[in-house]
Structure 1
């Protein structure tokens, strides 16, 4: 028996990559050919390091993206200005900690425009380059399986807020229609498509702090409905979905419980479900899956976050194995994959974990998977 190892997607970018991304972000002049060459070289190195660490299903590290959600503004029209910023509810409860994060650079500043017009694709040129870079690197380093991240309609609506469509539902529907080609293009390229959906949990204590948990679950269900519309016709076995409560070190005392969003998560038309189990606020929630195992569709595969992405502790591989075994006992080894809680480079130029420690965490993830098997 073999347990596969993967991760959530983003990895720490080199300074050369960061410099190019922020030059573009600030609207500064840059050499586009040099930009493309830098991205190609960086993706090759990132795939090489993943293969070296033993990762079975690799990504491009989201190298060319300024962030996992706001990259959309560079590839789709209809965005301008700036969206309101709203700190997570738990950080508001601890203002001295929030101030410390801000002063330390722990709250990145980058463009979050609003939707001010009809959302339309500018073409799949940048995506095509990303796919080409990843597939070339996989071939060069003898990696058979790869995935590419894409923002879900719900997470786009969280960070790039609506100031054009008459309702949130109309905005979600427009985003679902606009993103459909991106999703299909990734799948047709022979890669796994990963939809990043922190909106199904994180947005509870960001954008929807004024709602009750029950009211928020209805909002989350509408996000899943929009996502499933965008995925219509695509094979579920090629789709991964990631849910999280926010990739930051903090109290997380306002996080909604997994038990409350569990049915919504299971409704997504995707085979692979990625979620946190290392986060100390949610590490106990493996029991939700144990107690509600009958509600997990047989086709679902659980991709477990068994290494944390907000601290520089390198988990012992035996701890990783223990975390995996809990879920093996629930759904069987054939339906468990080892993963990370979140990405290591959610925003370009920002990351709590030292780059070399991040690679050590991925190596211990694979060793833990080997032990669990």
Structure 2
């Protein structure tokens, strides 16, 4: 979504769920007896409220906040058959393995993510389009009540689905990825057909290095990343590149992040993905310098950069002047017409989990908007 007269603003997608909705989502995910009409009404009202707040703050390209989803990848077990809740080893990030004192403090504080573990134990099939259709209808209705530039909806990449939902059915990882991609194509195509930008959440290309693939060499990880991009591109074969954006992430948690793979190593693979817009971390202390790595990369002329100019793991509210500085760095790399302003990650990656309290999440978004205005004043 190129622009010619100002820097547009957006965010990565997830927002904090209201308390009433959070209780219903968690109960429903656990399989408890939940009034489904009440849940549907609460989700619809939350989407309307979240879209309204985004518009009031001044965000240009808004989302439904992922109000209906328990987690950005694990929600799929409610739509896709073949997953069962079970027990399987979970890879911990290499940086938490390295610093067990910090890891143990996180566990003791309750700041780690807890979710039911879906495992692939049968052939995958997209069997229930109802929740997806409801999501599309809710966002369409909410957008009809506000004045914004556009809307987007999130869906996970095949690679991140495989990371969160281990395979115990398909003969190998590549077969599993292919099956996920063909299944997720249903969701990808429907989001674009509904008139929204599709955002592919692809932490597998960043976080995957120090999580699922932490025991591989960099060279072997890049081979896996190339396969994941190839599979993603195949799943996106019927949607135009300019209607798709992709989020690259190294994990939305406060931690050392000392094993995060460098941008310089993965840039070529990431830039080979079909989506025309790339949302990337650019604000947190481990990735604030990544602009230099992107500047050294061979960026195709049709790529738009949306750096995260707001950190989503801390309650510090960035000064608009700093936000503007971060935007200007990326404008220097690709030009002012090919830059948007976003956030490092979401504010509610998993329902009920996130380091930033809701009132400060909105304050950060206000700073994002003001920083984009300052950058616009300097660029035009």
TM-score normalized with structure 1 length: 0.98
TM-fit CA distance, 1:73: 1.1
SS at match of 1:79: strand
SS at match of 2:74: coil
Verify: 1:298 aligned to 2:305, yes or no.
Answer: no
Which residue in the other structure is 1:284 paired with? 289
TM-fit CA distance, 1:291: 2.1
TM-fit CA distance, 1:71: 0.7
Q: Is the 8 A contact 1:83 1:113 kept in 2?
A: no
SS at match of 1:240: strand
Q: Is the 8 A contact 1:83 1:160 kept in 2?
A: no
What CA deviation, in whole Å up to 9, does each residue of 1:104-143 have, x standing for no partner? Answer: 1111211122110001012211011111111111111223
**RMSD of aligned residue pairs (Cα, Å):** 0.8
Verify: 1:36 aligned to 2:49, yes or no.
Answer: no
TM-fit CA distance, 1:26: 1.0
Could you tell me how far apart the structure 2 residues matched to 1:250 and 1:174 are? Answer: 33
Q: How does 1:1-373 map to 2 (within 5 A)?
A: 1-80=5-84, 81-292=86-297, 295-373=298-376
Could you tell me how far apart the structure 2 residues matched to 1:332 and 1:144 are? Answer: 21
What CA deviation, in whole Å up to 9, does each residue of 1:265-299 have, x standing for no partner? Answer: 1001111001000121111120112222xx11111
Q: Is the 8 A contact 1:82 1:111 kept in 2?
A: no
TM-fit CA distance, 1:52: 1.0
Q: Is the 8 A contact 2:154 2:200 kept in 1?
A: yes
Aligned residues between the structures:
371
Say if 1:144 and 1:372 are closer, same or farther in 2 by CA, change over 3 A: closer
Could you tell me how far apart the structure 2 residues matched to 1:148 and 1:82 are? Answer: 30
TM-score normalized with structure 2 length: 0.96
Runs of 4+ in structure 1 over 3 Å off = none
Say if 1:113 and 1:82 are closer, same or farther in 2 by CA, change over 3 A: farther
Could you tell me how far apart the structure 2 residues matched to 1:264 and 1:64 are? Answer: 32
Could you tell me how far apart the structure 1 residues matched to 2:238 and 2:37 are? Answer: 36
TM-fit CA distance, 1:86: 1.7
Could you tell me how far apart the structure 1 residues matched to 2:214 and 2:157 are? Answer: 21
TM-fit CA distance, 1:226: 0.6
Gaps of 5+ in 2: none
Could you tell me how far apart the structure 2 residues matched to 1:327 and 1:336 are? Answer: 7
Q: Is the 8 A contact 2:69 2:75 kept in 1?
A: yes
Could you tell me how far apart the structure 1 residues matched to 2:147 and 2:60 are? Answer: 11
Q: Is the 8 A contact 1:273 1:301 kept in 2?
A: yes
SS at match of 2:8: coil
Q: Is the 8 A contact 2:263 2:294 kept in 1?
A: no
SS at match of 2:188: helix
